[in-house]
Structure 1
Amino acid sequence: MAPLILASSSPRRQELLTQIGYTFEVCVPNIDESIIEQEQAQHYVARLAYEKACVIVEKHPKRIVLAADTCLSIQQEIIGKPTSKQHAFEIWRALAGKYHDVYTGICVMQQGEIYTSVVQTQVKLATLSEQEMQEYWDTKEPIGKAGAYAIQGIAAKYILEIKGSYSNVVGLPLYETHQLLQQTIKALN
């Protein structure tokens, strides 16, 4: 089997992939992650995962490359990372007490073989008081996180319900990732 490359700088993705027994090298692709006008969340993450994989496969054509991208959306509007404390508070107010969708696009490529999947999980965030929002912001955990929260961290105490894959919300749906990697390995044998 060709050695695996994870096309991601995400420590969470690295931890998750290690958790299920894979060894890999990390190569970080440099792509434009801008949202195309009218692009829906599931198409956005699928496109970015594919583009990330292409960049790394071009540099390492004989290796298996795994790329992923995760985003949140509510009513088909993509929710990005907070740009300020005020923006984080706006995000939490928009998510409060309602389900939002977390999508991860996965792409595995090797020697002309391309396997892709998009996984959706629904998450319901509690309504946070002004004090809770301020306290959570002060932890610095929301900074740099899509939706301004990290489910695997302090924010876990604000999650009312999850429908679907927990690891998807963290950043890499493990069952689906393993299935795609196994398909790739079988195709190579």
Structure 2
Amino acid sequence: MAHLILASSSPRRQELLLQLGLTFEVFSPEIDESVLPDENAVQYVARLAQAKAWAVLQKFPDATVIAADTSLSVDGEIIGKPESKAHAFAIWQKLSGRCHDVLTGVCVTNAKQSVDRVVQTQVEFQQLTPNDMENYWATGEPVGKAGAYAIQGQAAQYIPRIIGSYTNVVGLPLHETIQLLQAVDALN
């Protein structure tokens, strides 16, 4: 098996890869995550995953790098991580009582080739009350999470259904990641 490096400090991504029994190192690159003018969510997550993979490959040219970026999109707006409690509440007000898309760009690259994919999952949120928002914020769980929630945690109580990959919403679509690793012969 190839020397794998996960280009992410996300504990959730690490846990997901460990579920597959993969052995890997972690190196989180510093990249500019600003949204470019006229960039949509699909383009944004794809670009960031590729940039993370490329940055790590430059430091570890003999490795196979797995990189990902997850964001939400509602009404064409890219929704990232909350910057404050007020920002989290504003995000939840946009998501409340409707569906939104969770998009993850995944890029697997090595010195010979690079493959990538964007995976989209539709998530339905129930109508959140101010009390729901206060209680959920108090858990600390929303901090550092795209969309200010963790489907694998207490936010699950607010999500009646999803259409698509559950692991994508957690932060790394495992089925597609394995396909990408196989495409670059990293699992042999």
Query: What range is the shorter-chain TM-score in?
Result: over 0.9
TM-score, reference length from structure 1 = 0.96
What is the SS of the residue equivalent to 1:185? coil
Matching of residues 1-189 of structure 1 within 5 Å: 1-185=1-185
Q: 1:20: Cα distance to partner?
A: 1.1
- The C-alpha deviation readout for 1:145-170, integer Å capped at 9, x for no partner, is 11111101000000011000000000
Q: 1:88: Cα distance to partner?
A: 1.3
Counterpart amino acid of residue 141 in structure 1: E
Runs of 4 or more consecutive aligned structure 1 residues displaced over 4 Å after TM superposition? none
State percent identity of aligned pairs: 61
5+ long unaligned stretches in structure 1: none
Q: 1:183: Cα distance to partner?
A: 1.0
Counterpart-to-counterpart distance in 2, 1:3 and 1:155:
35
Counterpart amino acid of residue 153 in structure 1: G
What is the SS of the residue equivalent to 1:101? strand
Counterpart-to-counterpart distance in 2, 1:84 and 1:66:
29
What is the SS of the residue equivalent to 1:142? coil
Counterpart amino acid of residue 102 in structure 1: V
Counterpart amino acid of residue 52 in structure 2: K
What is the aligned residue count? 188
Q: 1:112: Cα distance to partner?
A: 2.6
C-alpha RMSD of the superposition: 1.3
